[in-house]
Amino acid sequence: MLFNSIAFVLFFISVLSGISIYKKRIFQYSLLLFASYFFLYYSSNYLVILLIFSTVWDFYLAKKIYQSKNIKYKKFLLILSLAGNLGLLGLFKYYDFAITQFNILGNYFDLATSIPLLNLVLPIGISFYTFQTISYTIDVYRGHLTPSKSFFEFALFVAFFPQLVAGPIIRASHFLPQLREKLSEFETGTRLRQIIIQNSNLKLGITIMAIGFFKKMFFADNIAPLVDSIFLIPTALDSSSVLLGTIAFGIQIYCDFSGYSDIAIGAALILGFNIPANFNKPFFATSPSNFWQRWHISLSTWVKDYIYTPLAFKNRKSQLRLTIVLIGSMFLLGLWHGASWNFVIFGVLWGIVMAGHRIILYKFPSLKFNSFFKTKIGIIISIIITQYFVFLAFIPFRIPDFDYMLYAIQKYIFWDFSTFDAIPFMVDNKFAVLLIGLFFVLQFITYKNIFTKEKIANYKNRYWFGIITIITVLIFFLASRDPGNFIYFQF
């Protein structure tokens, strides 16, 4: 069920109505859980079984891990949990890719047989809910989390529909306490809290959702045709077109994915649940690591907490080990996005950039404390250099064909503007080019905090309603007539 569809609007209104009319806690949470399973079933049909399997698998294994006093047995149970989750993810997402590479290698060595592909349908959201259940089990194993006593509550954590399909990836330690009554700042009760649609949450939630729809339907969908036309056959183009297409795609994917995250966060807030932000002004990042502190925050922190830190912590003094672990972590982050070599290249490229930046700071520690980089000019230079690499990494993310990718990267790095062949694309896509300019203006305004979601929600009702009406009218009249799926649905 797409967020940008009438079906979702009707679905969400129905859920809100049911929760508002019937005040019994058990009914409210039963409705939420049923709605979450229906939400996934609507798009994936019988594949919702995989979600239920992951829920049952990790709920009971985490309980066993917590109850066991034997370290070896706890490790065995953890490995069993990881094997079940990663086994399903690998089978549906990576099996055909791995077998294809094996068959290519077999043909190279003139092997007579090849392994058949399964051609399985990729379950929507499997990468997201798998990482959620894995983090739950690992946190219980580490002693950082007490397992949920209620299967019902754990099931709602895994299946919560606003963020089920494309994140943000939430942690049990953040979500589960929100299901219980609040006794104090640091303590929750044993009873489920009643879900009350509060006016303040409703107003802010609608604001966040409206901005999310605006990003997706007004910006991303209208810029997409320009991106598609440029990268259809990039080898026929010069640097100006590649640069335009790369910038356009960076804006498209940001508006598409952060738009989804905003809709998810806003919908959850209306229901009374707080989901952490997934983006924080990424185009103002001042270093590669700072970018990943601002972009897809829930995934980058997951990789940091469960892959990079445990592996790097064993020997922090070894610069070679830290470099290998960093590149390996980013490789896995890239591979998480999909079973394709372009995502592998995307991750490794980011790993090399981040490792190179870290090595430079290690060799020249004075750069970290240089006052010049704290001045306005220094910050601007840092942003420009960082964004150069950010948009460079978007090229392999967008172009799966290896030859096309290399050509586009070459044209991006080695500028050649002898012929400005971007003009035909700009003429044919005037509105998209206008939106690119408008996007950067709005980014500057939000960077200065002139308008924020919280400020808009705190306006007097007539001003707030006016802004929401303007956003709605712009979407209704200027949204693309050919809306596409959210890009991260494929992951």
Catalytic hit among 174, 296, 337, 357: 337
Burial (Cβ within 10 Å: 0-12, 13-18, ≥19) of residue 190 = exposed
- b/e burial code for range 17-42 (CB count within 10 A of at least 16 → b): ebbeeeeeeeebbebbbebbbebbeb
Active-site annotation holds for 296:
no
Question: Do residues 231 and 397 make contact, with C-beta atoms less than 8 angstroms apart?
Answer: no
φ, ψ (nearest 5 deg) of residue 221: -70, -30
Question: Do residues 453 and 207 make contact, with C-beta atoms less than 8 angstroms apart?
Answer: yes
HEC assignment per residue over the chain: CCCCCHHHHHHHHHHHHHHHHCCCHHHHHHHHHHHHHHHHHHHHHHHHHHHHHHHHHHHHHHHHHHHCCCHHHHHHHHHHHHHHHHHHHHHHHHHHHHHHHHHHHHHHCCCCCCCCCCCCCCCCCHHHHHHHHHHHHHHHHHCCCCCCCCHHHHHHHHHCHHHHCCCCCCCHHHHHHHHEEECCCCCEEEEECCCCCCHHHHHHHHHHHHHHHHHHHHHHHHHHHHHHHHHCCHHHCCHHHHHHHHHHHHHHHHHHHHHHHHHHHHHHHHCCCCCCCCCCCHHHCCCHHHHHCCCCHHHHHHHHHHHHHHHHHHHCCCHHHHHHHHHHHHHHHHHHHCCCHHHHHHHHHHHHHHHHHHHHHHHCHHHHHCHHHHCHHHHHHHHHHHHHHHHHHHHHHHCCCHHHHHHHHHHHHCCCCCCCCCHHHHHHCHHHHHHHHHHHHHHHHHHCCCCCHHHHHCCCHHHHHHHHHHHHHHHHHHCCCCCCCCHHHHC
Secondary structure (DSSP) of 167-223: -PPPPHHHHGGGGEEE-SSS-EEEEEPPP---HHHHHHHHHHHHHHHIIIIIIIHHH
Largest CA distance in the chain: 74
Task: State how far the Cα of 255 lies from the Cα of 356, in Å rounded to an integer.
Answer: 29
Active site residues: 337
